[in-house]
Amino acid sequence: MDEAKQRELIEQYVAAYNDFDIEGMLAVLSPNVEFENYSGGELTASASGIEEFRLLAQRAKGLFTERFQRVTSLVFSQDVATAEIDYHGRLAQDIPGGPKAGSLLELNGTTEFTFGGERIVRIVDRS
């Protein structure tokens, strides 16, 4: 898959994420997608397969009243693209032992997208 197609899949995924469009996110993913989210080096969420990813995305959708990812750079290497991400989201509910509902989270991180079969087959978020 060429860089233009990889970029298109990433743009579709991020746009759907920003719009809380779970079906749009799933449309660019492999049925066997693997997902991992790391915060401070610790694995905080994972999903194996599109149905687990759907459930995780549905739960995450309910945590925020608004959210936005902006890709600030993309580096391509064979079947992997690494995106630098600026992120902000406003919490819809309190996080136990953490921020309260209405709090604005602002993070910087990376997302690694791996491609295969004209789809995204793996996503690893790090913040």
Q: pLDDT tens-digit profile of 55-65?
A: 999 999 989 99
Q: Is the pLDDT of residue 119 over 90?
A: yes
Q: Are residues 34 and 58 in contact, defined by beta-carbon separation less than 8 angstroms? A: no
Residue 16 parent element (H or E): helix 3-18
Q: Is the pLDDT of residue 77 over 90?
A: yes
Q: Are residues 91 and 120 in contact, defined by beta-carbon separation less than 8 angstroms? A: no
Range of the domain at 96: 3-126
Q: Is the pLDDT of residue 98 over 90?
A: no
Q: Are residues 81 and 115 in contact, defined by beta-carbon separation less than 8 angstroms? A: yes
Q: Is the pLDDT of residue 97 over 90?
A: no
Q: Are residues 87 and 67 in contact, defined by beta-carbon separation less than 8 angstroms? A: yes
> Taking residues 30-40, what's their average pLDDT?
96
The total number of structural domains in the chain stands at 1
Report the mean per-residue pLDDT for the chain: 95
3 state SS of 74: strand
Q: pLDDT tens-digit profile of 11-33?
A: 999 999 999 999 999 999 999 99
Q: Are residues 122 and 33 in contact, defined by beta-carbon separation less than 8 angstroms? A: yes
Distance of CA 60 to the CA centre of its chain: 10
> Taking residues 36-43, what's their average pLDDT?
94
Q: Is the pLDDT of residue 95 over 90?
A: no
User: Which CATH number covers residue 8?
Assistant: 3.10.450.50
Two tokens, residue 90: 């406003």
pTM: 0.93
